[in-house]
A and B are shown apart, each in its own frame.
Chain A
Amino acid sequence: DAGVIQSPRHEVTEMGQEVTLRCKPISGHNSLFWYRQTMMRGLELLIYFNNNVPIDDSGMPEDRFSAKMPNASFSTLKIQPSEPRDSAVYFCASSQQGNSNQPQHFGDGTRLSIL
């Protein structure tokens, strides 16, 4: 079975540019999570969706960050305008949440470098 698919794997761009990260969750999963990982702060939850609806975006650092999930098989995380401090690895994860907790399954991330 295909896992969580993220694109691009690497992105290098100049500050001020718009960046769009993409994620395809595992088919059948109804929850989707965006994380950011840095050496200094570890793995931080930015936002998560349940049945395509944003549930908690308290981790989104600033208004420059936005996330959408137009359907069950696709989500985007957008940064506009980007800044050097946004450089990090961004992970998407999905899970099937029901009556009991289920593990999240991660993609291999997008390594973002803002120059």
Chain B
Amino acid sequence: GESVGLHLPTLSVQEGDNSIINCAYSNSASDYFIWYKQESGKGPQFIIDIRSNMDKRQGQRVTVLLNKTVKHLSLQIAATQPGDSAVYFCAENNYGQNFVFGPGTRLSVLP
């Protein structure tokens, strides 16, 4: 769902390890998905997107996986670095309608 409380889910990862951030989306008709990264004091920054006709897409150190059967999206970050510490949002879009943003996950990279 879209509701968010006072506490974001937090993922703590050791520097150099891989990170996996998960997102359950709500609309089975959604056809376009984006992962955003938001650092403190900044706006959400586009990381990677995927369309519903694909189940995997790779970028630089990031991979997005889409499982339409269970309405699940994941973001994998390889060799996590301190600069990856941020809040990560998934967003879904249904045929050009508004994007709906997930509640976000805070990624904390431990030295």
A joins B in a complex: yes
Chain A positions within 8 Å of B, measured between CB atoms, are 4, 33, 39-43, 45, 48, 56, 91, 93, 97, 100-101, 103-109
Contact A103 B101 (CB under 8 A): no
Name B's interface SS.
Answer: loop
Q: A93-B44, A100-B32 are in contact. List 13 more A-B contacts (CB 8 A).
A: A4-B43, A33-B98, A39-B6, A40-B6, A42-B3, A42-B103, A43-B101, A43-B104, A48-B98, A100-B51, A101-B31, A101-B96, A106-B36
Q: Which residues on B sit within 8 Å (CB–CB) of A45?
A: 98-99
Given A45-B99, A48-B98: A106 and B2 within 8 A (CB)? no
B18 within 8 A of A: no
Which secondary structure dominates where chain A touches chain B? loop
Option from A4, A43, A109 in Cβ contact (under 8 Å) with B89 = A43
Is residue B10 within 8 Å, beta carbon to beta carbon, of the partner chain? no
Interface centre among B44, B49, B89 (most CB of A within 10 A): B44
Residues of A within 8 A of B41 (CB): 108
Does A101 contact B43, Cβ atoms closer than 8 Å? no
Q: Is A104 in contact with B99, judged by CB distance below 8 angstroms?
A: yes
Contact B46 A103 (CB under 8 A): yes
- Chain A residue numbers with a CB within 8 Å of B104 are 42-43
State the CA gap A37–B31 with chains docked (Å).
24
Minimum CB distance partner of A50 in chain B = B96
**Can you pick out 11 interface pairs between chain A and chain B where the beta carbons lie within 8 Å of each other?**
A33-B98, A39-B6, A40-B5, A43-B104, A56-B98, A91-B44, A100-B51, A104-B34, A107-B43, A108-B41, A108-B43
CA distance A3 to B44 in the complex (A): 12
Chain A residues with CB under 8 A of B45: 106
**Which of A41, A42, A56 has the most chain B CB within a 10 Å cutoff?**
A42
Residue of B nearest to A59 (CB): B98
